[in-house]
């Protein structure tokens, strides 16, 4: 982050203190993005956006307020500082708010995250990526239409400064390609999607490969049948299995735990997964989509097994939720310019297992492979799980025919306890898991 931006943060903090704040912090975000979308060979969108925003949080005793602005002139900074202090004086006290103690702060050196691709793609490059993905998908025999392909790039810089002495910044980039096409005609049409995101262009899956995969998925879903209602093994394709890991992260978020609004609220230190499974949150993963050296409160980030050998070992905490629970922050604070810090995971993943997908399903006499799921899914207070789905029937260890319009249901406590991963983990979204098998869920169809 440039010296000018850091000077803006320093000026905002000084004006907050002059207006009567006891403490303050400020975050500044600069972002730029370029996106191209096409459908059936014609451009539907080609846009570029650039923006910057700053959020100022002030604390007056045990009261706080946040204001944001993209006008960094001295007069505007003075105005928002005074407004923030006036707002803070008018809100109720919160005994757990407050900046980090100086001894808790990240002090460097910055880790080598390699999270910035030095080459920004021009519009022609993005156009070529989207065209390659859509052309490859349309080239699959039986594909009849396209919902479009998109290629995008984004870069952002984040700087944080606080009156406790913290000052730091980091940057990230992201390249993305996605495509969705249609196979069949009339009432027999089915869709197929694929997409990928990566910090560096060299880590992107080939647009041609993504396009072919999307086209083949659309073809593979033609002529779906109904499935009979019953209890059976359910296998979640790796493109959607990350949602199961995301449910765990949401259920152990400090905000939910502090409210008592989680089915895992009493499970810390207990086994919730099979003993051979570990879930990692790694904010320092090289080229990770959500990598960062410090969190939104200036605390160092560190790789952490939130579930280790099946045992839930940690909540996901920022300073406020940690204080409410009588614990220490885990360095998981996130923040935008318009709100205070709150806890959230970074690069979250379930490592690959030892079984191939073929081995994972090889002993299933009757089950389903879920490749698409719809609806909100999980009630994180009770653990009840129910989603609409589409996918394929599994019979005698083989994937047989496409199925749709069915519901899968169970309880996450039981589901997590019997989860079995395959060996096909891919890092494509920031919350990732391999193909997962869960035995004995209710499948509601005909």
pLDDT tens for 127-168 read 999 999 999 999 999 999 999 999 999 999 999 999 999 999
Cβ–Cβ contacts within 10 Å for residue 22, how many?
Answer: 18
* Topology at the third CATH level for domain 123-220: PmbA/TldD fold (3.30.2290)
Average pLDDT for 269-285:
98
Instruction: Assign 183 a pLDDT band (cuts: 50, 70, 90).
Output: very high
Per the structure block, which two tokens stand in for 136?
């490859």
Which pLDDT score is estimated for 377? Answer: 81
Which pLDDT score is estimated for 2? Answer: 54
What CATH code would you report for 3-104? 3.30.2290.10
Domain span(s) for CATH 3.30.2290.10 in the chain: 3-104, 123-220
pLDDT tens for 348-384 read 999 999 999 999 999 999 999 999 998 878 999 999 9
Whole-angstrom CA distances from 352 to 334, 357, 397, 422 are 28, 11, 21, 6
- Does 386 have pLDDT greater than 60? yes
Average pLDDT for 53-65:
97
Torsion sign over Cα 201, 205, 206, 211:
negative
Query: Residue 257, class by beta-carbon neighbours within 10 Å (0-12 exposed, 13-18 middle, 19+ buried)?
Result: buried
Helix ranges, 139-232 (H): 207-220
Per the structure block, which two tokens stand in for 151?
């290629």
In order, the DSSP letters of 252-314 are TBHHHHHHT--TTTT-TTSB-S-TT--EEE-TT-TT-TT--SB-TTSBBP--EEEEETTEE--
Q: Which of 144, 246, 151, 247 is nearest to 186 (CA)?
A: 144
Average pLDDT for 101-128:
95
Contact between 433 and 420 (Cβ < 8 Å): no
d(CA 127, CA 179) in angstroms, rounded, equals 13
Residue located via tokens 């097994």: 305
Q: Is the pTM higher than 0.85?
A: yes
The span from the first CA to the last CA of the chain, in angstroms, equals 58
Q: Residue 97, SS3?
A: coil
Which pLDDT score is estimated for 375? Answer: 81
CB neighbour burial string for 110-139, b if at least 16 within 10 angstroms, e if fewer: ebebebebeeebeeebbbebbbbbbbbbbe
d(CA 207, CA 167) in angstroms, rounded, equals 40
d(CA 165, CA 298) in angstroms, rounded, equals 10
Per the structure block, which two tokens stand in for 344?
């959230």
Contact between 146 and 40 (Cβ < 8 Å): yes
pLDDT tens for 190-222 read 999 999 999 999 999 999 999 999 999 999 999
Query: Residue 88, class by beta-carbon neighbours within 10 Å (0-12 exposed, 13-18 middle, 19+ buried)?
Result: buried
Which pLDDT score is estimated for 272? Answer: 98
Whole-angstrom CA distances from 262 to 18, 278, 381 are 42, 20, 4
Q: Residue 229, SS3?
A: coil
- Does 56 have pLDDT greater than 80? yes
**How large a percentage of the chain has pLDDT more than 90?**
96
Instruction: Assign 4 a pLDDT band (cuts: 50, 70, 90).
Output: confident
Instruction: Assign 3 a pLDDT band (cuts: 50, 70, 90).
Output: low
d(CA 356, CA 116) in angstroms, rounded, equals 33
Instruction: Assign 446 a pLDDT band (cuts: 50, 70, 90).
Output: confident
d(CA 197, CA 205) in angstroms, rounded, equals 8
Across the chain, mean pLDDT equals 96
Percentages helix, strand, coil for the chain (3-state, rounded to 5) are 25, 40, 35
């Amino acid at each position: 982050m440039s010296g000018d931006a850091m000077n803006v943060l320093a000026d905002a903090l000084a004006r907050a203190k002059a207006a009567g704040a006891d403490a303050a912090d400020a975050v500044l975000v600069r972002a730029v993005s370029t996106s191209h979308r096409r459908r059936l060979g014609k451009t539907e969108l080609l846009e570029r956006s650039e923006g910057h925003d700053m959020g100022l949080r002030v604390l007056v005793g045990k009261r706080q307020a946040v204001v944001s602005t993209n006008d960094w002139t001295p007069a505007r900074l003075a105005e928002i500082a005074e407004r923030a202090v006036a707002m803070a004086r008018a809100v109720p006290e919160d005994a757990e708010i407050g900046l980090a103690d100086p001894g808790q702060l990240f002090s460097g050196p910055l880790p080598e995250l390699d999270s910035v691709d030095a080459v920004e793609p021009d519009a022609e490059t993005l156009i070529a990526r989207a065209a390659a993905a859509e052309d490859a998908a349309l080239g699959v025999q039986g594909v009849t239409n396209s919902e479009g392909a998109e290629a995008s790039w984004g870069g952002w810089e984040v700087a944080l400064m606080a009156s406790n002495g913290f000052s730091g910044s980091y940057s990230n980039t992201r390249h993305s390609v996605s495509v969705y096409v249609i196979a069949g005609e009339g009432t027999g049409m089915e869709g197929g999607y694929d997409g990928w995101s990566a910090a560096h262009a060299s880590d992107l899956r080939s647009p041609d490969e993504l396009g072919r995969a999307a086209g083949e998925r659309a073809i593979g879903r033609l002529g779906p049948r109904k499935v009979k209602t019953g209890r059976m093994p359910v296998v979640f394709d790796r493109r959607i299995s990350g949602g199961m890991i995301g449910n765990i992260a949401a259920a152990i978020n400090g905000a939910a735990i502090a409210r008592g609004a989680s089915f895992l609220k009493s499970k810390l230190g207990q086994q919730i997964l099979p003993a051979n499974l570990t879930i990692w949150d790694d904010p320092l993963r090289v080229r990770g989509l959500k990598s960062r050296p410090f969190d939104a409160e200036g605390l160092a980030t560190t790789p952490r097994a939130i579930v280790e050998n099946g045992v839930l070992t940690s909540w996901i905490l920022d300073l406020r939720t940690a204080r409410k629970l009588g614990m220490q922050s885990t360095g998981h604070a996130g923040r935008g310019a318009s709100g205070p810090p709150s806890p959230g995971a970074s690069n979250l993943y379930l490592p690959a297992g030892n079984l191939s997908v073929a081995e994972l399903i090889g002993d299933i006499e009757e089950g389903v492979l879920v490749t698409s799921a719809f609806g909100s899914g999980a009630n994180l207070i009770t653990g009840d799980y129910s989603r609409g789905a589409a996918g394929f029937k599994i019979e005698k260890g083989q994937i047989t025919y496409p199925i749709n319009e069915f519901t899968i249901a169970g309880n996450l406590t039981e589901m997590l306890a019997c989860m079995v991963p395959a060996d096909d983990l891919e890092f494509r979204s920031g919350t990732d898991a391999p193909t997962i098998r869960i035995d004995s869920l209710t499948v509601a169809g005909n």
